[in-house]
Structure 1
């Protein structure tokens, strides 16, 4: 089963500050560990929302808003796609993701629906 681990950003990273060398090193080791375990499909950090845009559709009207998205409380700052046996295994990798951040981060884990829809757990 494929899962998406999303880490939430904070004011420090939203201001455009880079990760500390220590965090960068810990995350590098963690990513290498996930790759060696054969679970990692992709992992990336995201630039601050000031470099992005949000597109919304309401009543047939489409609007585009350039970042930053200051009104948003829970912006995604990074992601990892993994292949895991089940939610319990994915949750363990998510827990270790948080540990790599010295416990100073929040992640959300969601199972990815297959091309056939919600029942396709490939």
Structure 2
């Protein structure tokens, strides 16, 4: 199964405070372990919400709001995409992660939908379309 591992933002990450050399070293070593174990598919840190935007969809209308966004605890500062055997395995890996923030922090783990999760709504034509899209993104190195 694939899981998205979300590193929640903190006051320091939203303030644009950069991690120390020690934290970067620890996170690099953790990421190496994930890769060597065949778990890590992707992972990146995100810049503060002050450099981002949100797009609100309301019917056919689109409203863009520039950051920063007020609720730090609801923001994401980084992510990983992992392939694991179970949620338990993903949680075990998270427990081994260095604290990703200067202060206390939180990491959320969420399973990714697979095509079979959609049941009959995922027709053969839609499966083929998804396969083509994944092949193209794989070729791009995404």
- TM-score tier by shorter-chain length is 0.7 to 0.9
**1:91: which partner in 2?**
91
Secondary structure of 1:12's aligned partner: helix
* TM-score of the aligned structures, taking structure 2 as reference length: 0.76
**1:78: which partner in 2?**
78
Answer whether contact 2:46 2:78 (CA < 8 A) is retained.
Answer: yes
Higher helix share: 2
* TM-score of the aligned structures, taking structure 1 as reference length: 0.87
Aligned-pair CA distance for 1:61: 2.3
**2:19: which partner in 1?**
19
Secondary structure of 1:26's aligned partner: helix
Secondary structure of 1:16's aligned partner: coil
> Number of aligned pairs?
118
Over the residues paired in the alignment, what is the CA RMSD in angstroms?
2.0
Higher strand share: 1
Deviation per CA, 1:39-59, whole angstroms, max 9, x where unpaired?
010011100001110001124
Structure 2 distance, partners of 1:90, 1:118, is: 23
User: Structure 1 runs of 4+ off > 3 angstroms?
Assistant: 115-120
Answer whether contact 2:9 2:73 (CA < 8 A) is retained.
Answer: no
Secondary structure of 1:23's aligned partner: helix
